[in-house]
Structure 1
Amino acid sequence: MDGLRPFRRRPPKGTFGLPPAGLRDRDGGQECEDGFVHGDFSARNILVSHGEISGIVDFERSGRGCPVHDLASVYLHEVLLGEMDGSRFLTGYAAACGARETVDDRHLRRHLREYVCWVLSWAPAVWPCR
């Protein structure tokens, strides 16, 4: 991870950005670990060939941070906004990690809140009120 810049979701200028620390941290859960963060991880950036993952693209927002950022992004897109079953998704995630990873629900919810607040911070810039 040496030389890799820290990953941060940057809110657009003139917006509120991430929720206050009291809201982010109120559930506790696991502490964040330092690892690689893609920064825009979702199905649209995963290349699949013959039913197998053949590549991952779009790394311009990547950096060093808590890998649960990426898990929250995929969970939001595929489970909360998509049609995948949440428990099946998390079971598959644990299996793909060789069962060495368990996802703490409170930790995932904290990152989901941060991600949703970050997305909503862009709403005024994308859909301005008239």
Structure 2
Amino acid sequence: MDDNKGKCPGAYSTIEIVTGKWKPMILYQLAQSESVRFNELKRLIPDITQKMLTSHLKELEFHDIIDRKVYAQVPPKVEYSLTEYGRGIVPILSALQNWGKNHLSRLEQMYDHEKTEING
């Protein structure tokens, strides 16, 4: 067993499930509406590849974070949404968003202060 899992298994589990460049963006987009179609998600996250989006959606579905609903029609229609269980991550994502904004502001203030000292 990884030593980090034993020291903080809850946080480790959360980080393991939602880390990566794309999962937080996928979850954020799904949190903004009741359901989102695959191509709409692809449009909302333009730099993600179709393969990566598919892979992450499958992983999130496996963990019961998102639900995949397939409509029996031609052409096929597939929608994704957060499960009730998955909605529990929204406050965590919001907290990360707020912390990130505060951090960027802090870095900007530090940079401005440093720039003033150099030019001052």
Settle same-fold status: TM greater than 0.5. Answer: no
Identify the structure with the greater helix proportion: 2
TM-score range, shorter chain: 0.3 to 0.5
Q: Given the two structures, how large is their TM-score scaled by the length of structure 1?
A: 0.33
Larger radius of gyration: 2
